[in-house]
């Protein structure tokens, strides 16, 4: 379809009174004109009912998947102080190497996994990889050497790689740009919840006398791996790829769900497009994606460092406590983190702003690491853990939402989110070497690194806000006639492939 034919089809639709949501929701029909003007008025009450229904049927399943994804990744921190370090002879830097093996595969398979998620479909891909990483978690209970632990940890990274970007991409098919941030938070808040619940669960499991030949730390991996595989089997029956395939939506609700997502992407004629190389590349080279992924790198130095080393740090703060009590001391900071991880994205949703919350969250984390470095008082340093968790965990929702809402096509969104998480997890790789044995108990290197990282996040966020705001002002000066001239002679596919270069596009701040 040429740009002229596209305009004629829009004119035809505009002449129909009332607008037919069903026709606008069909593949091949846009819900905006070439200038980004929405061609239909949505019923606010119907939208509200639809969003509540989507929340009920979509969010709980992905939240459970991510909860157990994070538990299966981070339980190694609990296992370390419960005897794993001694049994597997993790002397020197072996524990750090074990953590690194996970991130090597986790980074390499990030983008390929998200492309496969789009190609195969989230409803099959996400439950499948959940079952497999649950299997790898269970297998960890039966390793008896450092080498075998490295292999299993590497495979765990292969299967977990697609979870965070896959879920973020999946949710972007269902929600408006302003709504997406809070829904991402609803499942990402399970990360700090996993820290709290993981500590409680670890304490309970470690209190068991043993399961056959499996004992102490091995029980953590066995029990939690089996639960994860159970969650995966449930997800096979509860997940659906997109609104068109949802049995729990009526035809009118399907049309509304599709049309409202298309309405926020200028010139978009389908919610789930076919794989397109130019669109895939557009998601990565987007300047917002590149800047946000740089921020997410430093975020993950903090987040993954907290996940892997909080039990160790707490153990140095309270060295005389029992193993079970040390596990339980890790719970309160994560509980506060869950609350903050919902409050900040909720405020972001209601204000439809993200970058200002990048800035405020970075300030919270900076406060925490200054406290770590400024004193050796156990109570103050324990309080610093609260600030570090509260300031860093909201970035999971903030960064992935900010990337997702600043691309146009479904293909570009899959690679943009995949790239963001891939680069971010280079930070996870760095975090495995941030807290070293010889730096204990004060961990000046690890805490200093995280302080510097969060200062970098703060500076980059301010610069990105200024850049995108200035570019929007520049785009506002482009007239409709100039937009028409730039689009003249282009096919509809060529117009879609412009993505963020489309003259009617505006950045979402």
User: What is the CATH number for 349?
Assistant: 1.20.1250.20
Rounded Cα distance between 304 and 300, Å, is 5
pTM of the model: 0.74
Question: What are the residues facing 211 on neighbouring strands?
Answer: 214
266 belongs to a structural domain? yes
Q: What is the pLDDT of residue 273?
A: 56
Confidence category of residue 3, pLDDT binned at 50, 70, 90: very low
Q: Per residue, what are the HEC states of 116-184?
A: HHHHHCHHHHHHHHHHHHHHHHHHHHHCCCHHHHHHHHHHHHHHHCCHHHHHHHHHCCCCCHHHHHHHH
Kindly report, residue by residue over 428-469, the tens digit of the pLDDT: 788 878 877 777 777 788 889 999 999 999 999 999 999 999
What contacts 24+ positions apart, CB below 8 Å, involve 3-8? 3/34, 3/487, 3/488, 3/489, 3/490, 3/491, 3/492, 3/495, 5/492, 6/30, 6/34, 6/267, 6/492, 6/495, 7/33, 7/34
308 belongs to a structural domain? yes
The answer to whether residue 39 scores a pLDDT higher than 50 is: yes
Domains contained in the chain, number: 1
Q: What is the pLDDT of residue 24?
A: 53
More confident residue, 408 or 162: 162
124 belongs to a structural domain? yes
Rounded Cα distance between 405 and 264, Å, is 9
290 belongs to a structural domain? yes
Distance, C-alpha 236 to centroid of its chain? 21
Rounded Cα distance between 381 and 144, Å, is 35
Neighbours of 8 (CB within 10 A): 12
Q: What is the pLDDT of residue 57?
A: 92
Q: What is the pLDDT of residue 255?
A: 84
Q: Are 465 and 336 in contact (CB under 8 A)?
A: no
The answer to whether residue 508 scores a pLDDT higher than 80 is: yes
Neighbours of 219 (CB within 10 A): 23
Percent of the chain with pLDDT over 70: 84
508 belongs to a structural domain? no
The answer to whether residue 348 scores a pLDDT higher than 70 is: yes
The answer to whether residue 10 scores a pLDDT higher than 70 is: no
494 belongs to a structural domain? yes
Rounded Cα distance between 300 and 428, Å, is 5
Across all residues in the chain, what is the average pLDDT? Answer: 81
Rounded mean pLDDT of 93-105?
Answer: 86
Q: What is the pLDDT of residue 8?
A: 47
Confidence category of residue 14, pLDDT binned at 50, 70, 90: very low
Return all residues near 355 (Cβ < 8 A) that are at least 6 apart.
Answer: 402, 461, 464, 465, 468, 509
Q: What is the pLDDT of residue 38?
A: 58
More confident residue, 487 or 407: 407
Confidence category of residue 65, pLDDT binned at 50, 70, 90: very high
Rounded mean pLDDT of 285-304?
Answer: 91
Q: What is the pLDDT of residue 29?
A: 54
Rounded mean pLDDT of 193-204?
Answer: 71
The answer to whether residue 284 scores a pLDDT higher than 50 is: yes
506 belongs to a structural domain? no
Q: Which domain does 490 fall in, by range?
A: 3-501
509 belongs to a structural domain? no
């Amino acid at each position: 379809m040429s740009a002229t034919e596209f305009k004629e089809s829009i004119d035809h639709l505009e002449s129909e009174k009332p607008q037919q949501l069903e026709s606008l929701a069909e593949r091949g029909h846009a819900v905006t004109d070439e200038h980004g003007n929405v061609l239909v008025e949505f019923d606010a009450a119907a939208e509200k009912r639809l969003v509540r229904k989507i929340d009920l049927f979509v969010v709980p399943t992905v939240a459970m998947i991510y909860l157990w994804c994070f538990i299966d990744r981070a339980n190694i921190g609990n296992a370390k102080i419960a005897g794993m370090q001694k049994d597997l002879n993790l002397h020197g830097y072996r524990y750090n190497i074990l953590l690194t093996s996970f991130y090597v595969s986790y980074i390499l398979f990030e983008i390929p996994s998200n492309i496969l998620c789009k190609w195969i479909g989230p409803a099959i891909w996400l439950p499948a990889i959940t079952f497999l990483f649950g299997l790898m978690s269970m297998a960890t209970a039966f390793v008896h050497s450092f080498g075998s632990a490295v292999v299993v940890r590497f495979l765990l990274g292969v299967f977990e790689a697609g979870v965070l970007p896959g879920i973020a991409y999946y949710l972007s098919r269902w929600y408006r740009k302003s709504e997406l941030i809070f829904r991402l938070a609803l499942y990402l808040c399970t990360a700090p919840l996993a820290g709290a619940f993981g500590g409680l669960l670890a304490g309970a499991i470690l209190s068991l006398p043993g399961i056959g030949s499996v004992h102490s730390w091995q029980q953590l991996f066995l029990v939690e791996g089996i639960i994860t595989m159970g969650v995966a089997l449930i997800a096979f029956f509860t997940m659906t790829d997109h609104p068109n395939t949802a049995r729990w939506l009526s035809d009118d609700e399907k049309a509304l769900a599709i049309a409202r997502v298309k309405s926020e992407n200028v010139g978009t004629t389908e919610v789930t497009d076919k794989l397109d190389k130019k669109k895939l590349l557009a998601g990565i080279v987007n300047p917002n994606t590149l800047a946000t992924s740089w921020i997410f790198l430093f975020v993950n130095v903090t987040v993954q460092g907290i996940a892997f080393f909080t039990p160790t740090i707490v153990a140095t703060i309270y060295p005389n406590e029992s193993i079970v009590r040390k596990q339980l001391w890790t719970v309160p900071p994560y509980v506060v983190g869950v609350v903050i991880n919902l409050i900040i994205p909720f405020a972001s949703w209601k204000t439809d702003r993200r970058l200002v919350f990048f800035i405020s969250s970075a300030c919270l984390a900076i406060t925490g690491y200054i406290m770590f470095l400024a004193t050796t008082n156990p109570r103050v340093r324990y309080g610093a853990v609260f600030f570090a968790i509260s300031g860093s965990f909201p970035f999971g929702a903030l960064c992935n939402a900010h990337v997702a809402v600043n691309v146009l096509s479904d293909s570009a969104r899959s690679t943009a989110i995949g790239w963001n998480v891939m680069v971010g997890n280079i930070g996870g790789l760095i975090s495995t070497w941030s807290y070293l044995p010889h730096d204990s108990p004060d961990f000046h290197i690890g805490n200093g690194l995280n302080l510097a990282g969060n200062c970098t996040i703060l500076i980059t966020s301010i610069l990105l806000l200024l850049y995108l705001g200035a570019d929007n002002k520049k785009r506002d000066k482009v007239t409709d006639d100039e937009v028409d001239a730039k689009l003249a002679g282009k096919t509809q596919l060529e117009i879609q492939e412009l993505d963020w270069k489309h003259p009617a596009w505006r950045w979402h701040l």
